[in-house]
Amino acid sequence: MNIMDFNVKKLAADAGTFLSRAVQFTEEKLGQAEKTELDAHLENLLSKAECTKIWTEKIMKQTEVLLQPNPNARIEEFVYEKLDRKAPSRINNPELLGQYMIDAGTEFGPGTAYGNALIKCGETQKRIGTADRELIQTSALNFLTPLRNFIEGDYKTIAKERKLLQNKRLDLDAAKTRLKKAKAAETRASIWAEEVTKSEQELRITQSEFDRQAEITRLLLEGISSTHAHHLRCLNDFVEAQMTYYAQCYQYMLDLQKQLGSFPSSYCNNNQTSVAPVPSASSNVIGSSALSSTSGLVIASPTNLIDLKECSGSRKARVLYDYDAANSSELSLLADEVITVFSVVGMDSDWLMGERGNQKGRVPITYLELLN
């Protein structure tokens, strides 16, 4: 019976505290009650924590999209994670493409040029798929997990203490309001003297609790700087994982390029080739080696093209593929036609000036084979 009485009294006290806070909060919003302001340093720490939380969530979610573009797969992984179960391993897109290429090459015949090339491409795509899988695993462990731990751990603790601080502030301001009212009533009736004493004691208690909670919250918030330092190390790990992944993919494609470039020239059929390299001023280093050894293309040596860019004369060139002019400054081309080309000072390094009869315009050098 005593326990029940205690529970009822505690419930009544909690309800009274909640009601007092609600009244204080409402009066503050209506401008009818004073509000204790937090010191500037604490406010700054709270703002920094909130900013960290918002941007950490955005970076984390977008990184997940980058590593796993399929939303259904992300939802499935989330469900398995919440169930504390390992998600089933699934074949990724490069691996699936690689398997299709290998199967197609096997059916066309490994002894044929196309079949052999498909098999080699498929094997490379599978290696890229494996590298992609390693990138996801490394990034999830070294980058996403620490970010998620902050959101679901440290920041939840901060939010809890911040809410508690808000409640203590409301209790403090409610006590100030009651003391103010009691003092105002005391001037009219001496019977309120006891109420004033009680209110002063309550104010001292709530002030002490508020100061203590403010200090606890401040200590937690000052740890945000350490969180930033930790996330910086995690970011370096993520960048290193990406660097390893792209370096592996680049090496795989270089090896594939060399293999395809070793095919006999009798396997090539230019009339059936429809490759349209995109001109890029930043691709001189990689693009030069790619153009000189890609299977199925009979393209003039990049050195000859550079020589032509540097000289002031004109040369005959055969067009390798059809090209539709994008604007009036360019010249449309038809595969196998022969045109005159020459360089113009100041023109982009991936273009030459082409001339056919009385027609003249810019043409991409990757569509041309210089003739001797």
pLDDT number for residue 119: 94
Sheet containing strand 351-356, strands side by side: 359-364, 351-356, 338-342, 314-319, 368-370
pLDDT digits (tens, 9 = 90+) for 354-369: 999 999 999 998 888 8
Q: Distance from CA of residue 337 to its chain's centroid?
A: 47
More confident residue, 328 or 263: 328
Kindly report the average pLDDT of the chain as a whole number.
Answer: 81
Whether 42 has a pLDDT exceeding 50, the answer reads: yes
Assigned token pair, 294: 């890609």
- Please compute, for residue 187, the number of CA atoms within 13 A of its CA located in the half-sphere on the CB side: 5
User: What is the pLDDT, as a whole number, of residue 277?
Assistant: 41
Residue 264 has pLDDT above 70, yes or no: no
Name which of 267, 272, 261, 363 is nearest 317 in CA terms.
Answer: 363
Query: In the prediction, which pLDDT does 16 show?
Result: 63
Q: What is the pLDDT of residue 27?
A: 72
Residues contacting 9, CB < 8 A, separation 6+? none
Task: Give the pLDDT band of residue 14 (cuts 50, 70, 90).
Answer: low
pLDDT band of residue 298 (cuts 50, 70, 90) is very low
Are residues 148 and 77 in contact, defined by beta-carbon separation less than 8 angstroms? no
C-beta of residue 353 within 8 angstroms of C-beta of residue 342: yes
pLDDT band at 112 (very low <50, low <70, confident <90, very high): confident
> What tokens were used for 203?
């104010």
- 175-230 pLDDT per residue, tens: 888 888 877 776 666 556 777 888 888 889 999 999 999 999 999 999 999 999 99
Q: According to the model, what pLDDT value does residue 344 have? A: 84
For residue 15, which of 23, 5, 3, 26 has the smallest C-alpha distance? 23
Selected residue with higher pLDDT from 372 and 101: 101
Looking at the chain, which runs of residues are DSSP E strands? 314-319, 338-342, 351-356, 359-364, 368-370
Residue 236 has pLDDT above 90, yes or no: yes
* pLDDT per residue as tens digits for the range 159-188: 999 999 998 888 888 888 888 887 777 666
List the single range of 27-36, 166-175, 298-307, 339-348 with lowest mean pLDDT.
Answer: 298-307
**DSSP code per residue over 184-197:** HHHTT-GGGHHHHH
Between 21 and 330, name the one with better pLDDT. Answer: 330
pLDDT band for position 23 (cuts 50, 70, 90): confident
pLDDT at residue number 192:
63
* 150 or 177, greater pLDDT: 150
pTM over 0.75: no
pLDDT at 1: 47
| pLDDT over threshold 60, residue 275 | no
